[in-house]
Structures are given as C-alpha cells and as structure tokens.
Structure 1
Amino acid sequence: MMAADLEILEKQRILDSFLKVDRYRLRHSAFNGGWVGPMNREVVARPICVAVLPYDPVADKILLIEQFRLQAHLAGLPAWQREVIAGINDKNEAIDEIARREALEEAACAVTELWPVYRYLVSPGLTTETLCVFLGRFDSESWKGGVHGLDYEHEDIRASLHDAATVPEILETGHTGNGPLILTLQWFLLNREKVRRKWR
C-alpha cells in the first residue's frame, strides 16, 4: 500500500489532556479495487515508548518490576502488574537514554549495553503508540533492590531479581497478563544463549 491508497479528509482534536485523541475522516483503497469509506476513526496520539529488561549475563539473572495499574484492575486483571521497566518519550530524548534513565528511576539499576529486542504497535486499532524494547546489561552484584520511583509521579515500584531459569515458570504461571512482559520474556528465552555468548 502507498500514500495514494489513503485519503485523510478531515482531522479534529477532540481531547487534549494527558491523552490526546484525534478524530479522522478518511477513506482507503480496497484489496479488490475501489475504496472503503468514507469513515470516522478516533485515534489516541502517543509518542514512542521505551522498555528495558535488565539482564546480568554473568549471574544469569533478570530484573522485573511490579506496580499498581488502575487500567489492569478495570480490565479484570491483577491491579499490581509484573512488568518490564518502561517510560514515554515525552521530552524528545534519545531512545537509548530513555531506557537508561527509566532503569535508574524505576529500579535504581545502572544499565550499560543495550540489545534491541522489538519495536511494535501496542494496540494497532487504538493508538499510534509504539514500544521500543531493549535488553539492558547490568551488574546484579552491585544492585541493592528495594522500592523506587518518582514521588511527583506517584510511583511506588518494587524491583526484584529472578534467575533466568525461572522465566518459563513466570511465563506459565507468574505473569499478570502484561503484554510487553510476555513478549520480552519470550524473546529472552529464544535469544538468551546468544546474548550470554556475546556479553560474557
């Protein structure tokens, strides 16, 4: 498909708060010729977000966080979500710097090397938000653990270490329905030995 296959007829911002929502009137080409539409579509406009899974290849341990999510509760899932570290690019920072900063803010974890994992659309039918995921190298021996986060953002984030050998169990019974966590841990299982060979 090309730009000529899409016509944006109208765009209107209908919510301009923490969330930005735009209403589009558009039409697009059909697979069998002709056009589909015109139609209205509402889109949550979001900048790119960045996630990082800290990994110590020597100790063979990963670091996960846990924090409260109202949206998860409202969806009927556990309100305290087990997650990978993540943050939004709302200050026009470099992607790798966001990963390192968020690791420090949410887990007091100093990440050195970054290994690109995925960049994917979080919810293609709802938002422009994409998540750029990294594996981040860190030294678990010097990490102190605890509860972290920024007070002015009302963050109360518990960080914890896990043996890499427990990842299949986490995927089987220990996740909270969190998509980025599940995708990242599945990638980790497939690529763990390759990463260890390079980082050790």
Structure 2
Amino acid sequence: MEKNDPIRIVGEEILSDDYAPLKKVSYEQRRRDGSWQRQQREVYANAGGAAVLLHDPTRRTVLLTRQFRIGARLAGIDAFVIEVPAGMLDDASPDQRVRAELCEETGYRAKEVRKVLAFMPNPSSLTEIVHCYLGEYERGDKQGEGGGKEEEGEDIEVLEIDVDEAFRMVEDGRIVDAKTVILLQRLQQELS
C-alpha cells in the first residue's frame, strides 16, 4: 500500500465460497477533507469472464443464446435471457476462454475474434472484468451441436437472429443482458 493511498483495507471475511467467494471487506477511506471514514461492503470476488458476438456480414445475422438465469427470475423479468456466448475465465486467458465458450455454447468455431473492450459490470460489489470480443462467422463454421455442458447444468438454446432485429430487441427490452447490449451496440456503431 502506498503512503498516499486514500484506501486502507483493514479486514476481510469470507461469508460464502460456493459459486464465487463472497467477502465482507472493511476499509477506511480518506475523504476529500482529509478525515478517515470506515466502511464495510460485501463483494463477490470473481476472476472475470469473456464474451463474444459473432456476425455473419453476408446474411446479416448474429449468433446469440438463450438460457435460464435465476437473477432475472428473482428480478421479475423473463428468466430465459438472450445473451452472447460467454463464460468465466477459470484460469484461462480471455482469448482462450472466449473460443472455448463459443464452441461449447453454439457449436461454432470462430476463424478470428478481436477484443473490442473490457468493462466492470458492477464495480461496487463485483471484482469481475468482462473481456468483450467481436468476430465473424458463416454457416460452414459450425462444428458441433452447442447447447452448453450438461454436467454444469447448462441447457442453452442457440439463436441466429437478423442483425437489425437484434438491435430492435435491445431497444424494446427483449435483450437486457449488459454484455450483450454493449456488444450489439458496438456492432451497430461499426456497421453504421
């Protein structure tokens, strides 16, 4: 810790370590007036993930998935969420993970993907950084069935959607997943 660091971590307690460690973190923050204030927050310590949106420029389609998400159900919205293929890093590089998840979830292999951005979905309570990629595909790139890994509880439907319809789905709220919204908006900018 730097001498001039305005944050001092004074304690961490693991509250749960099932899906990702949930920590209660106590820290002191030096306020702008120079005084110190003690605070506590609960934070999920997630290593991050990688997500990819594939676009077929000839047929003007995108590859998306639909799967059950308990958070959406508890929020009272459609629990079968439309998303880009994605997964947690699990000690892999973002480049490796995005290619593996793409194949597992959709059955497609990408010739090329390029990283376009990284973002933090909720820096107040998650350590997660999501690495986002764009790429192109064509029908001949399908190598398997997709659908996810049954042993991990995945039951993923693969969707091939007209690109303009996907943009409308963001606008009208049928697509609400943050990484998917961000990647579709990025693709829309690039196609403009």
What is the TM-score normalised by the length of structure 1? 0.86
Q: Name which of structure 1's ranges 152-161 and 134-143 shifts more when overlaid on structure 2.
A: 134-143
Does the 8 Å CA contact 2:121/2:129 hold for their aligned counterparts?
Answer: yes
- Report the CA distance between 1:128 and its aligned residue: 0.5
Measured in 2, the distance between the counterparts of 1:158 and 1:12 equals 38
Does the 8 Å CA contact 1:78/1:176 hold for their aligned counterparts?
Answer: no
Measured in 1, the distance between the counterparts of 2:55 and 2:11 equals 46
Which residues of 2 match residues 22-61 of structure 1 at below 5 A?
A: 22-35=23-36, 37-61=37-61
2:136 pairs with 1:137: yes
CA separation of 1:101/1:122 partners in 2, compared to 1, >3 Å: closer, same or farther? Answer: same
Sequence identity (%): 27
Look up the match of 1:5. Answer: 6
Look up the match of 2:83. Answer: 83
SS of the equivalent of 1:58 reads coil
CA separation of 1:3/1:52 partners in 2, compared to 1, >3 Å: closer, same or farther? Answer: farther
Q: Which has the higher helix share?
A: 1
CA separation of 1:142/1:174 partners in 2, compared to 1, >3 Å: closer, same or farther? Answer: farther
Measured in 2, the distance between the counterparts of 1:130 and 1:52 equals 14
Equivalenced residues, count: 191
Does the 8 Å CA contact 1:22/1:44 hold for their aligned counterparts?
Answer: yes
- Report the CA distance between 1:29 and its aligned residue: 1.9
Look up the match of 2:19. Answer: 18
Does the 8 Å CA contact 1:146/1:158 hold for their aligned counterparts?
Answer: no
Look up the match of 1:196. Answer: none
What is the TM-score normalised by the length of structure 2? 0.89
CA separation of 1:120/1:65 partners in 2, compared to 1, >3 Å: closer, same or farther? Answer: same
Does the 8 Å CA contact 1:175/1:182 hold for their aligned counterparts?
Answer: no
Does the 8 Å CA contact 2:108/2:141 hold for their aligned counterparts?
Answer: no
- Report the CA distance between 1:136 and its aligned residue: 2.2
- Report the CA distance between 1:2 and its aligned residue: 8.8
SS of the equivalent of 2:38 reads strand
- Report the CA distance between 1:147 and its aligned residue: 6.0
Unaligned runs of 5+ in 1: 194-200
Does the 8 Å CA contact 2:104/2:146 hold for their aligned counterparts?
Answer: no
Look up the match of 2:65. Answer: 65
- Report the CA distance between 1:168 and its aligned residue: 2.8
Query: Match for 2:35: what amino acid?
Result: G
